[in-house]
Structure 1
Amino acid sequence: MTRRIGILGGTFDPVHIGHLRGALEVAELLDLDEVRLTPSARPPHRGTPQVSAEDRLAMVQCAVQGVTPLTVDDRELRRDKPSYTVDTLLSLRQELAVHDQLFLLLGWDAFCGLPSWHRWEELLDHCHILVLQRPDADSEAPDELRNLLAGRSVSDPLTLNGPGGQISFIWQTPLEVSATQLRERLASGRSIRFLVPDAVLAYIHAHGLYPASN
């Protein structure tokens, strides 16, 4: 029986409702068996996370506890090198049956940045790409991606077939929240309640993460 697995990577510094709601909506729309939230250890395209890998992993574990079908995959934190997505997909493929489907979930900004990723042209050899867009998204894909979209884009994500190789777009509930915004709120002593799960907020407070600036 074919398994259908979504992958949502990120620093999750901290994980918030935008990550979780997006993952859950995709899981429900495509009837995925699971969506694995995959914290990155040393993201090549971003600054060093503010809190440790252990704390970021723990927050994601708190966030998904009891929320089917969201799960946590810590393989990038166990890898002693930068978190290249192509390596993660190759590692996952070794654990799956040949016909199992992998879906890489990317926000629009991340998708537009693909040409700067390590071995980005190989990604579709191992997965389908689902681009999560909000209704207010109005920017265009860079030139490097236009030929790829012309040849690989599928208008209806429900028709994606095979283990990988195609791209589709999914409209998301617009949630104006970002990890940067949350860190700024915490640094200024403001509340982030209802922007992260209660269990994540409790973990942040219990471990003294993101202390307010003096």
Structure 2
Amino acid sequence: MKIAVFGGSFDPLHVGHIQIINEALNSLHIDKLFIVPTYLNPFKKKSFASSSLRLNWLQKVFTCKDKLEILNYEIEQERSVPTIETIQYLKKKYANIQKIYLIIGADNLATLHKWYKYEELSKLVQFVVASRDNKIIPENLIKLAINAKISSSNLRENMNSSFIPQIIEDEIKRHYKMKQRIENIVNILDNKKAENIQIFDMSDKDYFVEQVVLATTMGERHGISLLDDLKKGLKDKNESFLQIDDENEWIVIDLGDILIHLMSPQYRSKYNIEEFLSERDAEMKKLQFEAGEE
């Protein structure tokens, strides 16, 4: 059995990734290609979309591909997983594997030696390099000729529709626009000395808003000042303040799909909203797991 492994953040998935996968299926003589979304890239501190959302996008785009499997092993570990661990997992799961191609982008070549247990990994796999930005690829490596000049980081900034798979285009644009809106809110709160700012993604939790922002104020006057700063700072961002509940030490701002809580330390400790939101998250994960078992 010959397999290929193509891992990445896919944050977001774009046509360049699809070209790599199609070219690998066409040019490599393999029995199966595994797409492996990371929980968190070992060389990055954060992802811009949750692992569950990135996995969902992959599953929607690659529903009818032969010889293709989306492997959620790294996501299930809920931590950064070095590539060699995934390769060892596959070798253990499929005892008849004879050859493993590991597909990487040409931009990874310069830092490949920094990968965890690189020397051991290089003995287990044969590297296959997808071309990018005219980077030179050594002749001793297999090359996949890819002509899509796009990266996930560029796509997050520009949201060019021509590089986004149509079936998930609306979802991707909505998600990264939401991330920018949240970043705008957090920047205002942080610059004006709000404390312990927390973000809760409730988009798949059957909640009445998609995002909840919690921040601690230094008291009633500070809360009112933060509210004024948010009104001024978000005015040019086309945010609509649908409702504001201002009750002394607890201000609630409803932006429609985002809810902002500005609370004094005493109120935040007393009502412990983050515990409720975390329990909601755990409850939905349990329901999703049980539904999957059925």
Q: TM-score, normalised to structure 2's length?
A: 0.56
CA offsets, 1:46-66, max 9 Å, x none? 231111111010011112121
Cα distance between partner residues in 2 of 1:200 and 1:102: 30
* Shift in alpha-carbon separation, 1:74–1:132, aligned structure 2, 3 A: same
Cα distance between partner residues in 2 of 1:17 and 1:34: 20
1:160 alignment counterpart = none
Cα deviation for residue 8 of structure 1 reads 0.7
2:162 alignment counterpart = 194
Cα distance between partner residues in 1 of 2:144 and 2:97: 27
Cα distance between partner residues in 2 of 1:201 and 1:46: 25
Q: TM-score, normalised to structure 1's length?
A: 0.76
Higher relative CO (Cα under 8 Å, sequence separation at least 6) belongs to: 1
CA offsets, 1:69-89, max 9 Å, x none? 333110000114322101001
1:180 alignment counterpart = 153
Q: Percent identity?
A: 23
Secondary structure of the residue that 2:103 maps to in structure 1?
Answer: strand
**What is the correspondence of 1:63-212 to structure 2 with a 5 Å cutoff?**
63-134=61-132, 136-138=134-136, 154=140, 168-186=141-159, 192-204=160-172, 208-211=174-177
Cα distance between partner residues in 2 of 1:16 and 1:125: 31
**What is the correspondence of 1:7-26 to structure 2 with a 5 Å cutoff?**
7-26=5-24
Aligned-residue CA RMSD (Å) = 2.1
| Letter matched to residue 28 of structure 1 | N
| Letter matched to residue 43 of structure 2 | H
Cα distance between partner residues in 2 of 1:69 and 1:18: 19
| Letter matched to residue 197 of structure 1 | P
Cα distance between partner residues in 1 of 2:116 and 2:84: 7
Asked if the contact 2:16–2:148 (Cα under 8 Å) also holds between the matched residues in 1, the reply is yes
Asked if the contact 2:11–2:54 (Cα under 8 Å) also holds between the matched residues in 1, the reply is yes
Cα deviation for residue 132 of structure 1 reads 1.9
Structure 2 unaligned blocks of 5 or more: 182-236, 238-294
Cα distance between partner residues in 2 of 1:68 and 1:195: 23
Cα distance between partner residues in 1 of 2:66 and 2:19: 12
Cα distance between partner residues in 1 of 2:22 and 2:161: 20
Cα deviation for residue 135 of structure 1 reads 8.0
Question: 1 or 2, which has the higher strand percentage?
Answer: 2
Cα deviation for residue 171 of structure 1 reads 3.9
1:37 alignment counterpart = 35
CA offsets, 1:159-205, max 9 Å, x none? xxxxxxxxx2214131101111111014xxxxx32312111214335
